[in-house]
Each structure stands twice: as C-alpha cells, then as structure tokens.
Amino acid sequence: MSQNERTFIAVKPDGVQRGLVPEILSRFWNKGYKLVAIKLTLANEDLLREHYADLTSKPFFPSLLSYMLSGPVLATVWEGKDVVKQGRVLLGATNPLASAPGTIRGDFAVDMGRNIIHGSDSVESAEKEIGLWFKKEELVDYKPTLTSWIYE
C-alpha cells in the first residue's frame, strides 16, 4: 500500500451535533495519518443521492437521506499507508452494537441509524467520494515534519 493512499471520512450530522469532531480528528492524527482536506458543509440532496447511489433502492434510503440532510457534515480526506482499510478499523462496524470498544462507533454510537461517521470502503470508492465532496484544488499536498517518525 502506498503512503499516498487517500480515504474519505465524513462525520455525519449526529457526530457534529454531539461535539465529537475533535475526538474523531484526533484518532486519525494520533494514528499518524495526514489530513489533506477538511470542510464543514450542508450536503444537498443531489450530492447525497450520488454518494449513496448504491443504496437508493434500499428501504432505509429515505431515512438515511433525511438524516444526512438534517445538519452539517464534516467532510475530510486523510492520506497514508493502508488508510482506507485502517480507517474502517478506526470507525468500527457499521452497526455500532457490533463495534469493538476503542473504535469510534464502539465508543460513541448505539443505533445503526445514528452511527456518527462514514468511511470509504475501498480505494476506488474513496477516489469517487473525494471527487464528489472536494474540488481537486481543495486537496492540500504537503509533507508533515513527523513523517520520518511514522514511516520507515
């Protein structure tokens, strides 16, 4: 896996409203991943329909759409070695009740309909999601001074 692999992580409206943003950001930073884009936004229906295109036929889609439109979303892009897979580990299982303690969902969520956070499930979906939520010029390329203390 490349150090330049990127993933899309979104703190959903419940995570933002509950004030969990600093805790969530710190978990990725403390792991050693590099933040390359961040913005607080009110997602519109068109963006959400495209983001969740694979779920539009599911019976829970209308409630998912309503939930994601209910408040601000913190959209972020993180970069680092195996960040897609490791990001999913940090998030925990989609169903918070199946999430291990120490994961974001395991520590802060109870109900699947309020599971706090979204993370890309593959490098391909990460590229697609990053392109939906961010313009290319919004992604910042830089080398953190701590890189040599994180990677061999």
Binding residues: 12, 60, 88, 94, 105, 115
Catalytic residue, chosen from 118, 119, 130, 134, is: 118
Active site residue 118: yes
CA-to-CA separations, 14 to 67, 113, 116, 118, 137, in angstroms, rounded: 9, 10, 6, 12, 28
Q: What is the residue type of 123?
A: V
Give the helix ranges, DSSP H, for the chain: 13-17, 21-31, 45-51, 61-68, 83-91, 104-108, 123-133, 147-150
Tokens of 51: 């983001």
Residue positions in the annotated binding site for ATP?
12, 60, 88, 94, 105, 115
User: What number of other Cβ atoms are within 10 A of residue 147's Cβ?
Assistant: 13
Show Cβ contacts of residue 135 under 8 Å, excluding neighbours closer than 6 positions.
Answer: none
> Distance between alpha carbon 52 and the CA centroid of its chain, in Å?
14
At which residue do the structure tokens 């109900």 appear?
A: 111
Catalytic residue positions, numbered:
118
